[in-house]
Amino acid sequence: MKVILFGATGMVGQGVLRECLLDRDVERVLAVGRSSSGVRHDKFGELILSDLMNYSSVENQLLGYDACFFCLGVTSAGKSEQDYSRVTYELTIAAAQTLAKLNPKMTFIYVSGTGTDSTERGRMMWARVKGKTENELMRMFPNAYTFRPGYIQPLHGIRTKTAWYSVFYAVLAPIYPVLRRLIPKYVTTTEEVGKAMLEVTKHGYPKKILESPDITAAGSEK
């Protein structure tokens, strides 16, 4: 299996990359992004692009892949709907359009978030934009899935690039087992997200939209 990964330098992407490199069924991982992840591995490669809206010059490097794990994401805090849409909807769809043309049968998994608004008409701006993105991807790929995790606990030394998030995760790490027991519907881990993506790619899933319990269940499959 050959995988394209967007967001390899982010917290979720780091976790997904780790699981891909550990999985014996994964032959190749190509990380696409604006900066290098610094990872060195026999089955890992990188495609560094300054413009993630235009893939016309690198289409030949994106052919022949079985899955795309799209883990790019930014906070909506302080952004207008136009600005947030550009980096959430437009950037995602630009990549997806190219991949749908080159690899129409590929599995495309998009990391969204709990509370996303599939109607595209709710009060929360970020939820509408995420919902619009999900809906468009579902139209483009027969094998599209959306992951809507709630709280994700980073494992195996994985860290977020956002300073105050790091403090948040460090504080919650010791009580994560308690959270897991108290609110299992809203928590998962970077390991489970990565394993779930691989499981869904290999064997599919009954739902197109996976919430945290679905992610945990899929990530626990043998």
Residue 126 sits in a domain whose CATH number is: 3.40.50.720
Dihedral (Cα; 146, 147, 150, 154), 10-degree rounding: -150
Checking if the pLDDT of 222 tops 90, the result is no
Average pLDDT on 95-113 reads: 97
Look up residue 87 and give its amino acid: V
User: Do 1 and 67 contact (CB within 8 A), yes or no?
Assistant: yes
Q: Does some domain include residue 118?
A: yes
pLDDT band at 41; cut points 50, 70, 90? very high
The pLDDT score that the predictor gives to residue 86 is 94
The pLDDT score that the predictor gives to residue 156 is 81
The backbone torsions φ and ψ at residue 74, rounded to the nearest 5 degrees and listed phi first, read: -135, 160
The pLDDT score that the predictor gives to residue 77 is 80
Domain count, the chain: 1
Mean pLDDT score across all residues of the chain = 91
The SS3 call for residue 12 is helix
Q: Does some domain include residue 170?
A: no
Q: Does some domain include residue 135?
A: yes
Q: What is the number of helices (H) and of strands (E) in the chain? A: 8, 9
Checking if the pLDDT of 92 tops 90, the result is yes
Q: Does some domain include residue 178?
A: no
The pLDDT score that the predictor gives to residue 154 is 86
Average pLDDT on 6-19 reads: 95
The pLDDT score that the predictor gives to residue 75 is 80
Domain residues for the domain of 136 are 2-150+190-219
Instruction: Give kind and range of the element (H or E) at residue 128.
Output: helix 125-140
Average pLDDT on 9-28 reads: 96
Which tokens go with 8?
């390899």
Average pLDDT on 103-110 reads: 98
pLDDT in tens, 135-188: 999 999 999 999 999 888 888 878 766 555 565 556 666 766 766 777 777 788
Checking if the pLDDT of 131 tops 80, the result is yes
Which tokens go with 166?
């790091």
Q: Does some domain include residue 124?
A: yes
Q: Does some domain include residue 65?
A: yes
In this structure, how many other beta carbons lie within 10 angstroms of the beta carbon of residue 21?
15
Using CA atoms, how far residue 69 sits from 19, 112, 123, 169, in Å, is 12, 12, 28, 23
Average pLDDT on 195-220 reads: 95
Average pLDDT on 32-40 reads: 93
Q: Does some domain include residue 172?
A: no
The pLDDT score that the predictor gives to residue 167 is 56
Average pLDDT on 212-217 reads: 94
Q: Does some domain include residue 201?
A: yes
d(CA 122, CA 131): 10
Angle between helices 190-203 and 212-219 (to 10 degrees): 70
| Beta bridge mates, 146 | 110, 209
